[in-house]
A and B are shown apart, each in its own frame.
Chain A
Amino acid sequence: MNSKIKYFSLLIVSILVGLSTLSCEHGIEPRVEPPRTGFSGTIKFINDWPKDVYRTHIVVFKDTIKIPADFNILNIGFVSDTIPMNLKNYNYESDQNPAFAISPGVFKYICIAQSTVPHVSLDRKDWRVAGIYFTPYDSTKYGQIEIKEGIFLTNINITVDFKNPPIQPPK
């Protein structure tokens, strides 16, 4: 009996030592900061800001908005932090405190969206498109961007003319 107890004790001590050793792994560790992925640019605001706006964001969609239902979270690829009101120029970087961060992919519709209601809403009628990113040197074609892992696009510039807004997507 005594020898059995000794063996059992030895087994338990071995388990304790073994488990303690495994504990020395230290578990999860910080990931290496990946190279920047995203885009940046400048937004130029022309004329006076409208009074009925509660919030302004840069919003990036995977596809253009053909019907009101396309204005949904699954189609959205990026939402910036709120842009302060009444600015004339705004420089942005997509990885600086976004409301909804961007992931690699192709995005076909980049706009400046302004909310006309105080609460956060995904209802199309609560939003107004104030400006759109167009293909450089061709203001008839929506600009498309392709975000790749570790690539940071620049000069995604948008002009917002409050007196001459772009064609609104269907409401």
Chain B
Amino acid sequence: MKIKSCKIYFTLFVLLLLFQNVLAQKFGQLTGEVTEENGTPLIGANVRVEKTLLGSATTAKGTFRITKVPVGVVTVRISMIGFETKFVENISINLNEETKIDVQLKPTPIETSEIVVTAGKYEQKISEIPVSLNLINSHELSRKNIYEFDDALRYVPGVNVTYDQVSIRGSNGYSRGAGSRVMILFDGIPLFSGDTGEIIFQIIPIHEIERVEIVKGSGSALYGSSAMGGVINIISKETSGNPIYYFKTYAGVYDKPFYDQWNWSERTRMFNGLILSHSRRISDLGLSLSFFRYENDSYRQNNFTKRYSLFLKSKYNISTSENLSFLLNMISYNSGNYVFWRDSRNALIPPVDDIGQTVDAFRFNTHLIHQKAFADDFLLSSKLSLFHNDWRDNTESFNQSKSDMIRSEIQANYLLSENNTLTAGIEANISRVKSNIFSEPIAYGAALFAQDEFKLFKDFKTTIGGRFDFQKVDTLVSEYHFNPKLGFNYSVNEDLFFRASVGRGYRAPSAAELFTTTSVAGINVVPNPKLKSETSWSFECGGNFTLANLVKLDAAIFQSEYYDLIEPGFDYKGEIIFDNITRARIQGAETQLSVNLFNNFWDVNIGYTYLWARDLKEKSFLKYRPRHLMYLNSIWKVDFVELGIDFRYWNRIENIDQEFVQLNIIKDGDLREKVFVTDLHLTFDLIHLGIPVRTYFSVNNLFNYNYVELIGNVAPIRHFVLTLEGIL
């Protein structure tokens, strides 16, 4: 009976949608081609019909097709990172006719008019936001042969990655897989597991990324827990109106270790991957489907990875002002469990007892997003998502955990006037964990947020907002947090703007920090149900100056005060326990310089961050925070060939987990040096020659420099990667 009534409701729903479509406005079709100035087709450019939710990505030939465009005069926005955003106005759409436009985009490596969505939860020019924001585009990911997402973050100014834990301006140290102070979003939806609260980088489908927005400083006023250090939002590619067939295959080989005594394997260590993808539109339904396989022998013993993933994204245009998106992203993997080295003489092999330990995991995230624009000034978005995480290892404790995190959110963007945008929403989430180490807690939370951005004076934009969060974990005491924020942006002229912001952040402890019961290297880890949330206050101010599209200089100073930071430590019984230990202060300065020389022949980007990260209780430098972070990137382009060099530098980490060294758990664990890595990249873009193929060749860690980000873990030694990418 219940199934029957569900079927009736579903049929009625579909009929209603069809009916609405049939009776809605009259339509035409918009097609066209997007190219560079020299006629080379631009693949993956976004074409959007303004004041509607209609859009498409361009194909391998640079073409696009948008159906059901309302009859009348429309404006179209064409954008792609690295190119000037173009608006084509006064396009007449006639009933049942195809209107064709051809657009040429001008490359502008130095640009401040990119549209971003993460800073305010709505579309804004990057030059109008009150916080620091960096972008990574899909070309950067391809050019650098990035096949693990955390590698992409290693080259962002102010960001450092310690093994698999990302830190923005020193927000994170290394918490051994429990919790993160940086929030990661996929299409605006948090990508956290319900048990450990950590970022699962392996699940991120790199080939489906259009761009990544990295917001620095506390984002809790809009995004809640875990966003206290910043927010990383991964925006997936738009589905295409015309069919796109895509494949990418790559193979790589690790060089021999620099020291002969580290050479543990007779066999050459290799890795490879294959991606097959198809995107098309069937009537009003856009579809993208991709399959990914990855295998890595690793340069370290018992560190192999085998991974399979499936990605499905669909977008149904219910009408010009309403759409429904569905996403399913699944991953299954098996990997060796490498925790730390045996000692510095055996730096690429684990302790004897760890050999043969493996981890198996099955994870997926899925979401449904409904968007409806009511008139030109009101957009309502509803989101429902699920993150399923299931893993087990074969260590002595046979650790295993299953968790499901369900989130829902309704958000409204209301354009009160041309200079005033109100954003508000409600959110609810529930997570359930079943684990032999994290217990079986149920956690739930709810939140209410609102933000208004308005111009107090001409060119002076003010942001004021806040978020109220309620959090309850199992039988523990409930927590309430209010995180306000205030921001300013002042545009002196088109080339110069200043920004400032202050905001509160918080992070609720994860199930792993609250309830872990296990044993690590013979030492017990015990639960601490009395843990409370960490909180912070962050401030920054900065400025951005662009000179004739040739030079861009961005500078900022910042300060964050952290309270009750959760850190693992030893209790009086000598057992490891997570506790609210640290009161910390991080102050710093950051500068980024981009220069475009000789008419796009040479691009240079330099980023430098100084961090003064202090543990005020211990009067010491915070663990796993570098004091100096520097990046240098230089790219030369001639026709279809692009050569790039990327450097990154950290000073020697001043403070680490000394307990692991003193207790001799990690032998030679105090051994560390400055990080000094050079990568070389060569790209042949044969699409310029009319052949739908690109090849990428990289030598990563060119000088085979040996370093550790995390104690007892040598970072990847020199390796070579060759990638072939085809788009039809």
Please give the number of chain A residues whose Cβ is less than 8 angstroms from any Cβ of chain B in the complex: 35
- Residues of A70-119 at the interface with B, using a CB-CB cut-off of 8 Å, are 72-76, 79, 97, 99-103
Bound state CA distance, A122 and B577, in angstroms? 14
CB distance from A50 to the nearest CB of B (A): 23
> Which of A16-24, A39-47, A135-143, A148-156 contacts the other chain?
A16-24
Chain B residues whose C-beta falls within 8 Å of the C-beta of A167 in the assembled complex: none
Is A8 close to B, CB under 8 A? yes
Find chain A residues with CB under 8 A from B667 CB. 101
Beta-carbon contact of B262 and A30 below 8 Å? yes
In the assembled complex, B574 has its CB within 8 A of some CB on chain A = yes
The complex places the Cα of A79 from the Cα of B519 at a distance, in Å, of 15
Q: Are A28 and B573 in contact (CB under 8 A)?
A: no
Interface size class of B (residues with CB under 8 A): 35 or more
Judge if A168 is at the interface, Cβ distance under 8 Å.
Answer: no
The residue that A20 contacts in the complex, of B262, B521, B703, with Cβ under 8 A, is B703
CB distance B673 to A97 under 8 Å? Answer: no
Q: Which of B352, B604, B662, B702 contacts A23 (CB 8 A)?
A: B702
Specify the chain B residue showing the minimal Cβ separation from A11: B604
List residues of A (25-50) whose CB comes within 8 Å of B's CBs: 25-31, 33
**Is B668 within 8 A of A31, CB to CB?**
yes
A33 and B345 form a contact (CB under 8 A):
yes
Task: Given A19-B647, A72-B573, decide whether A30 and B522 contact each other with a Cβ distance below 8 A.
Answer: no
User: What distance in Å separates the Cβ of B316 from its nearest Cβ neighbour in chain A?
Assistant: 49
Is A29 within 8 A of B706, CB to CB? yes
Which residue, of A27, A69, A76, A100, has the highest number of chain B Cβ atoms within 10 A? A27
For residues 654 through 675 of chain B, which have their beta carbon under 8 Å from a beta carbon of chain A? 662-664, 667-668, 671-674
A67 at the interface (CB under 8 A from B): no
Q: How far is the CB of A81 from chain B (nearest CB, A)?
A: 8
Query: Does chain A have a CB within 8 A of B575?
Result: yes
Q: Using a Cβ cutoff of 8 Å, how many contacts connect chains A and B? A: 102
| Cα distance A118–B550 in the bound complex, in angstroms | 69
In the complex, are the beta carbons of B574 and A100 less than 8 A apart? no
Query: In the complex, what's the smallest C-beta–C-beta distance from B598 to chain A, in angstroms?
Result: 8
Q: Give B664's nearest chain A residue, CB to CB.
A: A101
A27 contacts across to B, CB distance below 8 A: 673-674, 676, 705-707
Report whether B664 and A120 are in contact in the complex, using a CB–CB cutoff of 8 Å: no
Complex-state Cα separation, A23 to B707, whole angstroms: 11
Contact A23 B676 (CB under 8 A): yes
Task: Given A19-B647, A97-B352, verify A28-B672 contact (CB < 8 Å).
Answer: yes
Please measure, in the bound complex, the distance between the C-alpha atom of A156 and the C-alpha atom of B570, giving whole angstroms: 31
Q: Which listed residue, A19, A74, A102, touches B678 by the CB 8 Å rule?
A: A19
Interface pair A16/B259, CB less than 8 Å apart: no
Is B639 interfacial (CB-CB < 8 Å)?
no
Chain A residues, CB < 8 A from B573: 69, 72-73, 122
CA distance A23 to B645 in the complex (A): 13
- B602 interface hit (Cβ, 8 Å): yes
- Given A79-B522, A120-B522, A122-B574, answer yes or no on A28-B645 (Cβ-Cβ < 8 Å): no
Sampled A-B contacts (24; CB under 8 Å): A5-B598, A9-B597, A15-B632, A16-B632, A16-B645, A16-B647, A19-B632, A19-B649, A19-B678, A20-B678, A23-B676, A23-B703, A25-B705, A26-B703, A26-B704, A28-B708, A30-B344, A73-B523, A74-B570, A75-B574, A79-B522, A100-B663, A101-B664, A122-B575
What residues make up the interface of A, taking CB atoms closer than 8 Å to B?
5, 8-9, 12, 15-16, 19-20, 22-31, 33, 69, 72-76, 79, 97, 99-103, 120-122
| Closest 3 pairs (CB-CB, A-B) | A73-B574, A23-B703, A27-B706
Instruction: List residues of B whose CB falls within 8 A of some A CB.
Output: 258-259, 261-262, 343-345, 347, 352-353, 519, 521-524, 570, 572-575, 595, 597-598, 602, 604, 632, 634, 645, 647, 649, 662-664, 667-668, 671-674, 676-678, 702-708, 714
